[in-house]
Amino acid sequence: MKKFFTTALMLITAIFCNAQNWELKVNAGGNTTFVKDIMGKVFYRTDDGKFPWEDIDAGSPVFGQFATQAGVSNEIGFYANWEVVRHLRKRWSLSLSAGIDRTNFTYDIPFWSARGIRDTISMKDIDENFGDTKLLYLSSKFLNVTKSFSNLNISAGPVLNFLLHDNGQGKIYSRQNADNTVSYIASPLYKPAKFLYGGNLALGYKLAKPLELKAGAQYFFNSIYKKGENKSVDGSGKDVKVNPCQIDLGLSYSIMKF
């Protein structure tokens, strides 16, 4: 009987000790994304025919085109995810998170206006919403390793983004010229890549027992656009990678330990 109680006590102790090895968290906050090297292209027509990214009509001439590096501005996005943490010995832990990530940025393309009128305009002069890019991803940080130091912790590991939604293709605009003729002006929006992979580095600071302040950065190793979409404007036709870098700031709340 003594052995039975001893064994039962050991089992209960083991279960109790292991009960705190897992933790469920919810994380949310804002982010901003930095991109560069977007190659901008603008096409002009003197009729309302087709543009190169449409089913091009070879018999309908393009009046002209202009290519230059676009000016890019980062904007505010957001993220929200669930995170499961497996606590290990000596303040080490492994984690897996999954949720949504909204990536926002905008760009503008300056160019000379059509029909020889040498006033410099840009696509945002025609449409203030031109270049606004809003990409929604299913995002996962898996097998991230965390080391805790009292109220501070540092995490690192891989991150994967799977595209769920993007905000469409290029538009065609008409513009009245100074000589009362009309030019049709357009610029394609490049197709985003369906999948991004990169690395994550994050810092956490415990504000209260269930609540942490989290700051992180993610760098992606492949281009945000599909291969062949963002070609160099120097005439070489070389594909230019646009590797996004994202920083985020938010809160992490511990829901339960089990």
Confidence of residue 120 (pLDDT cuts 50, 70, 90): low
pTM tops 0.85, yes or no: no
Q: How many domains does the chain have?
A: 1
Cα–chain-centroid distance for residue 148?
28
In a domain, 13, yes or no: no
Q: What is the Cα–Cα distance from 148 to 13, expressed in whole angstroms?
A: 25
Average pLDDT over residues 135-156: 96
Give 4 or 106, the one with higher predicted confidence: 106
In a domain, 183, yes or no: no
In a domain, 104, yes or no: yes
In a domain, 49, yes or no: no
In a domain, 253, yes or no: yes
In a domain, 59, yes or no: no
Structure tokens at 147: 């080391």
| Domain containing residue 130: CATH number | 2.40.160
Highest mean pLDDT among 1-10, 12-21, 131-140, 228-237: 131-140
Confidence of residue 15 (pLDDT cuts 50, 70, 90): very low
Name residue, tokens 């499961």. 84
In a domain, 235, yes or no: yes
Q: What is the Cα–Cα distance from 122 to 187, expressed in whole angstroms?
A: 11
Closest CA to 186 of 73, 72, 71, 109: 109
In a domain, 237, yes or no: yes
Q: What is the Cα–Cα distance from 29 to 126, expressed in whole angstroms?
A: 33
* Single-letter residue type at 200: N
**What values do phi and psi take at 237, rounded to 5?**
75, 10
* Residue 232, domain extent: 23-37+74-169+191-257
Tens digit of each residue's pLDDT (9 = 90 or more) over 189-242: 788 999 999 999 999 999 998 999 999 999 999 999 998 888 887 767 788 899
